Structure 1
Amino acid sequence: MATGRPPRLVSSQPPQPPVKRLVSAGCDNTAKVWGCSSGGWAQEALLQGHTDWVRDAAWAPNLGLPINTIATAGQDGQVISWSERADGSGWDRAVVHDFRTPVWRVSWSVTGGILAASDGNNAVSLWKESLDGTWQQIEQ
């Protein structure tokens, strides 16, 4: 049902049943999105963008909003944000930052608005996406 307008946060439609999904990181330079159905777990998407091992992947909390965002941390020094397209046709990629040293972990704040990244220089930095879609460092 495409109406040409963004989905509403309040609806008279009954809520959809919860969907079981997870993201994995691997030594094949990719992250994979998995979904569970009655037939078991199956790969839904392959997120390609890193040039070395993906060390960590974290799904942002969405607080019930129809938004799916994943962050990945790579041995290549990049942190990448992945946003699922509203029509479910794939994922858009945005480089948060190139640390030029391996990035070991990424973690989202409880509300999903701030991303923490820990890198090979023993530093933790905080990042927030601005309205124009660029990422700004807010703390180090």
Structure 2
Amino acid sequence: MYDHPGELSAADPIRLLAVRDTPLSLDEVFAAVGDPAAGGTALFVGTVRNHDSGADVDTLGYSAHPSAEAELRRVAEKVAADFPVRALAAVHRVGDLVVGDLAVVVAVSCPHRAEAFAACRRLIDDLKHEVPIWKHQRFSDGTEEWVGAC
């Protein structure tokens, strides 16, 4: 049994969800998950790296299905139901990006650090597996590939 209401999930812990074509902000996501009952906040930042599977990446583009935000909400609601989430935020970029750009930022705050780490990991893993966002990589040798497209 919990000794304090702050040990429980917040009534509405989903504070920020978006799929957008503008640069992402760590400060915006971190601020969105601030909660005085949270003792742990976990943040994951996915950036465009300069290589993949042994090939040099020049640029990439993300595309999203029109249902992407609704699916992101479904994923977020499941995480919030499975963990004592005080606040949750997730934003994913679409459009053309270059090496070093932020592609995705997710954050979760919970009463304790272990819960925050676990919830954040589930959030990013489920986002990547279930939200219909596809990556089109362009390599320096002129080749390209789609990742995540069915």
TM bucket (normalised to shorter chain) is 0.3 to 0.5
Q: Which structure shows the higher helix fraction?
A: 2
TM-score by length of 1: 0.33
TM-score by length of 2: 0.31
Q: Which structure shows the higher strand fraction?
A: 1
